[in-house]
Amino acid sequence: MSMQQRIHDALAALQPDSLEVLDESHLHSRGLETHFKAVVVSAQFAGLNAVKRHQRVYAVLGELMGQVHALALHTYTPEEWAQQGAAPASPTCRGGSKHDQAPG
């Protein structure tokens, strides 16, 4: 099972109205299945600030968090999603990974 599917399956615990997990590794220099973007719409986020929402996501992902380099989170309540309608686009990678080799 791919890391993308594992993340998706774990996030189902939040009983989302909408859930999208994108593998954005191709935009980065770190390798395959390392960078993901998750857009999660759940009533469980009602009354929670961004930090608390992210903590809830990290809790359901558990050990998976240690297996990815980056996870961009976009968390919304159903009401916020109805107003917003889309998550922001991910920025283009600017490099700078400590794993990049310095020019020789």
pLDDT (tens digit, 9 = 90+) per residue, 46-75? 999 999 999 999 999 999 999 888 899 999
- Residue 49: inside a domain: yes
Task: Tell me what the pLDDT averaged over the chain comes to.
Answer: 85
- Residue 61: inside a domain: yes
- Residue 36: inside a domain: yes
- Classify the C-alpha dihedral 45-50-51-56 as positive or negative: positive
Displacement of CA 30 from its chain's centroid (Å): 16
Q: What is the pLDDT of residue 35?
A: 84
For residue 73, what are the contacts with CB-CB under 8 A and spacing of at least 6? 38, 40, 53, 54, 57
How is residue 78 written in tokens? Answer: 């159903």
pLDDT band at 79, cuts 50/70/90? Answer: very high
Read off the pLDDT of residues 22-38 as tens digits, 9 standing for 90 and up. 998 866 655 677 789 99
- Residue 52: inside a domain: yes
Q: Domain span at residue 53?
A: 3-84
Q: Do the Cβ atoms of 17 and 78 come closer than 8 Å?
A: yes
- Residue 93: inside a domain: no
Q: pTM of the entire structure?
A: 0.80
Domains contained in the chain, number: 1
Tell me: pLDDT of 99 over 90: no
- Classify the C-alpha dihedral 11-2-22-30 as positive or negative: positive
Tell me: pLDDT of 17 over 80: yes
